[in-house]
Amino acid sequence: MVDWGENMKYFFAVLSVVFVLLFAMVGYTYFSGEYAPEGSAVLTEPRAHVQLITQNSNEHFWSTFKRGALDAGKEENIYVEFADISAKDPELIAETAEQAVYSAVDGLALQAADEERTANVLLMAEKAQIPVLTFESDLFPTTDVPTVGSNSYDAGYSLGQMAIQACGGRATAAILVESVLENAPSSSRNLKVQGIMDALSDAPQIEVTQVYPVDVERFEVEKCTSQILEERPEVDLILCTGETSTPGVAQVLVDANRVGDICVIGYGAMPQTLDYIERGVIYGSVCPDAYQIGYQSVKQLCRMLDGETVSNSSNTGMYTVTKENLEQFRKETAQQNLD
């Protein structure tokens, strides 16, 4: 005799498994099509695949750079991939670029970190007929290779001009320089500092007492700022040339209850920096247009892929942000997030 009760239980059990499997398949199809893996832009049948070698950093520059690159990729129907590395290490950048060439990407963009290894990578890409450009690489200019980005000398000059405006042309200054690579050529090692000094030459009553190299990875910013407060009481102006060091200097002044005693000119647009400008701890900041650097890097690669001739140097300019135009700057950058 057939046990219909047991058969019905078995039937509903099988049916439940089938529904679960169907739901899982539908869910997978939906989510895999809607969500991109981190570090890439998902498009339907993109016409090309380009890779940008970037830093795995919490700096505002890199997050904004990536957003601009992804927006350009969507406009051009280009698959944009980011190869994040932990540091600006010449060997690591070269190895990552070589892997991209071996993977036969359609286009490549990187930030040059030396001369010899970068030149070898560029030659390898040329032999493979892969368009390549550099961005934010004025420390290591490469002949006949397009570059996109800001100019370090111009950034320094803008810092100096802002300093003159902030202190009325009279101050005793110290400059904090974030450490650059040891193998950087001496002629370009201090482009920002040179720009600062040239700008300050128009204000002879601003005296620069010392230039302090700092390594942000070793928390030297806080130590150096405290040293200035203790050993250089005459200093009433500090200029920062690095994005990461700027909020560190401001925080030391807050902790030491020295806000207002020392005018700070910063670099970059980290959220903390903008907050310190709003609070009057930092007078203002000079920052590269990171969104445009990422955006134009992909746009230039697209033109190269289409066989167009592009400019060897695309200068994306700088922002100068003070309390007066802070809200406008925030609105502009917020709009970039929405577009």
Q: What is the pLDDT of residue 57?
A: 79
Count of beta carbons in the 10 Å neighbourhood of residue 106: 19
Antiparallel, parallel or unpaired: β 48-55 and 107-110 = parallel
Ordered per-residue pLDDT tens for the chain, 339 residues: 444 444 444 444 444 443 434 333 333 322 223 334 445 555 568 999 999 999 887 788 999 999 999 999 999 999 999 999 987 777 888 899 999 999 999 999 998 877 788 888 888 998 999 999 999 887 666 667 899 999 999 999 999 999 999 999 999 999 999 865 545 444 445 789 999 999 999 999 999 999 999 887 778 999 999 999 999 999 999 999 999 999 999 999 999 999 999 999 999 999 999 999 999 999 999 999 999 999 999 999 999 999 998 988 899 989 999 999 999 999 988 877 665
The pLDDT tens digits of the residues spanning 72-130 come to: 999 999 999 999 998 777 788 889 999 999 999 999 999 887 778 888 888 899 899 99
- Both ends of the chain: CA-CA distance in Å? 70
Q: What is the pLDDT of residue 28?
A: 30
The pLDDT tens digits of the residues spanning 280-306 come to: 999 999 999 999 999 999 999 999 999
Segments in 35-131 forming alpha helices (H): 60-76, 90-102, 116-127
Question: What sign has the CA pseudo-torsion 9, 11, 17, 22?
Answer: negative
The encoded tokens of residue 264 equal 């700070």
Count of beta carbons in the 10 Å neighbourhood of residue 257: 8
Q: Which string of DSSP letters, residue by residue, matches 131-165?
A: -EEEES-TTS--TT--EEE--HHHHHHHHHHHHHH
Report if pTM > 0.85.
no
- Residues in the chain, how many? 339
Give the residue from 103, 105, 85, 107 showing the smallest Cα distance to 94: 85
Q: What is the pLDDT of residue 291?
A: 95
Count of beta carbons in the 10 Å neighbourhood of residue 105: 22
Q: What is the pLDDT of residue 180?
A: 54
Give the residue from 247, 242, 213 showing the smallest Cα distance to 227: 213
> What is the rounded distance in angstroms from the CA atom of residue 212 to the CA atom of residue 48?
45
Q: What is the pLDDT of residue 33?
A: 30
Give the residue from 266, 91, 84 showing the smallest Cα distance to 163: 266
- Residues with Cβ within 8 Å of residue 136, at least 6 apart in sequence: 111, 148, 149, 150, 288, 293
Q: Which amino acid is at 254?
A: V
